[in-house]
Amino acid sequence: MTEPSKFDFRPWLFWDHATEEDRRAQESHLAALRDAIGLDAAGKVFISPLAAVSTDRLRMGDFCYIAAHAYVTDDVSMGADCTVNPYAVVRGRVELGDAVRIGAHTSLLGFNHGTAPDRPVFRQPITSRGIRIGDDVWIGSNAVVLDGVTIGDHAVIGAGSVVTKDVPAWAMVAGNPARPIRDRRTPRSAPRDLEGRLAAFADRAREQAGEVLARCWTGERYVDRPGAEPTVRAWADAVEIADLLLGGPPPTPAREEIVAFLRDRQDPATGLVPEIGAPGSPELLPTAMGKANGGRPGPDGGGRAGLDDGGRPGPDGDARPGPDGGGRLELEGVAAYHVLSVGYALDLLGTGFAHPIKAVSDLAPRDLVATLDGLDWARNAWTAGSWVDAFGTGLYRNLAGFGVGGENLETLYGWLLTRCRQAHGMWGEPDGDAGWLQVVNGFYRLTRGTFAQFGLPLPYPERAVDTVLTQARDPRYFGPDTGNACNVLDVIHPLWLTGRQTRHRRAEGEAWAREHLDRALGGWQDGTGLSFALTQGDGAARTSGLQGTEMWLAITWLLADYLGISDTLGYRPRGVHRPEPALQYPG
């Protein structure tokens, strides 16, 4: 057995410290390998006699090393200055550029095999798309890189990472599966400072979550903020905030009471959830009053629209009242948004709607197409997009909970894919007065309830990125004295969603995300949470409440996740703004 030397485990020392005897022994070893393993070594190389090298072809550039107990097989090509460190595995078709350093116990697996059920796994055919690694790449110890992956120049792979997808140039990635942490060219001090602020923000929010919720509990109902009228959405926002920050339902009232309140509000005839006091709500139905409201009459005609969706904010952050949303077949206004907010709140509480969304399931495919064609995409792309969001979410609810509605899902996607504008990657056209606001905000709502919710790729992600970044630079909505939760959400979610498919203009997107994350982290008000509009002034939009708090908590996560640092927050949205698909198409 060959006795190990210091060069076997630290081969980079060989050419500076080897004796003449060491060099002759290495030359003899390489000569034996040239014929045995197809070695093509240019210049000075070192292969430990303790390494298991059994290749069909091995090309090594100048100053390349393979250390002790490495396992190298098949077809491997190494540029100059590459190191395969002890116990590393390099198998299959693997191409390394110059200056690639592979840490100890790391595996580069440039092959795969089938998993068909017709035969045992060990009899499955072998495939190899290969692994390609650029120049100046550092792969940390115990990492795994799978077949088909390309790693760009100057990238860094964190120790223990499992790399399943391509890694762009200059990216630093880590985790299982590996995810971007930052661009290597970004100074380390900025992310570290930002991560510290993220952690402090999340700790502060968790400590005060109970106080924020208690402030908006009247003793009978949740309201968005003290003095506001009771709304259904306030209950859903309370559930989402508690899940994010407390890891469970709100402390008050009991979970069973919250479930009963939300489930009993659903209109069995349409499946929609009307606002408190609106036509079709339990308060107006004598048989339901005791069950849903403890026998107490609800507010007379209460339930005006919130600051989002039913009451869409204008550029200055002030709410514009929407339709009453009361129990109608049409998916519009507050009742339509309740398909999202109440449905996901019930999910978080471990239950669901009692009835299917008949406003969705009763619509025949041809009528769905006619309805989509009839939406005002030219002037009101946001309203059209919000209708698609509600319809898509209704489809999800019906499929997941009741197993109905699959034919409309195919009709909806067929319409969306054929109507998307290739020039800008969205639906609708910009307005001469508002610019891209309606189109981009409608894109968020539409894609949230369809492509994101069912895990499907967007048709033109690069063009969509261009459009979103154009909107993100509009000072009317993102100036120093402007900004609200809707407009920030409607930019960061599309950037985050398209970022799953493309790195197009990523640096610009990250710069925007960093700026608005910095602003969001300064918006928390002790004991009250966050306001819808992070601007100075009076009014409902600038008063801390449940809606502003719920939205900004989710926005903060999306901004941080786009920058690769969301783990610092210690929470992850699981409701309306959940990052994972709710149901993988086709189910």
- Residue among 260, 195, 575 at smallest CA distance from 393: 575
Res 57: pLDDT? 94
CA–CA gap between residue 189 and residue 195 (Å, rounded)? 10
Largest CA distance in the chain: 100
Res 407: pLDDT? 86
CA distances in angstroms from 407 to 169, 412, 414, listed in the order given: 42, 9, 11
CA–CA gap between residue 3 and residue 53 (Å, rounded)? 18
Tokens 């190389």 appear where? Answer: 45
Q: Mean pLDDT in each 10-residue stretch from start to end of the chain (587 residues)?
A: 78 89 93 90 92 95 95 96 96 96 96 87 89 96 96 94 94 89 71 83 95 96 95 98 96 96 94 88 51 30 34 36 36 86 97 95 93 94 95 95 89 96 95 92 97 96 97 89 89 97 93 92 93 75 92 97 93 95 75
DSSP 219-261: SS-BBSSTTSPB-HHHHHHHHHHHHHHHSSS-SSS-HHHHHHH
Residue 455 zone, left/alpha/beta (φ > 0; ψ -120 to 50; rest): left
pLDDT in tens, 300-313: 222 223 344 333 43
- What type of residue is 351? T
* 184 close to 154: Cβ distance less than 8 angstroms: yes
Res 284: pLDDT? 58
Res 330: pLDDT? 60
Is 190-298+326-569 in the same CATH topology as 6-185? Answer: no
List of residues 6+ apart from 39 with CB closer than 8 A: 30, 33, 47, 55, 58, 60
**CATH superfamily of this structure's domain 6-185:** Hexapeptide repeat proteins (2.160.10.10)
Domain 190-298+326-569 coded CATH 1.50.10: yes
In the chain, what are the domain boundaries?
6-185, 190-298+326-569
Q: How many Cα atoms occupy the beta-carbon half-sphere of 97 within 13 Å?
A: 16
Res 192: pLDDT? 59
State pTM to two decimals.
0.65
CA–CA gap between residue 499 and residue 509 (Å, rounded)? 9
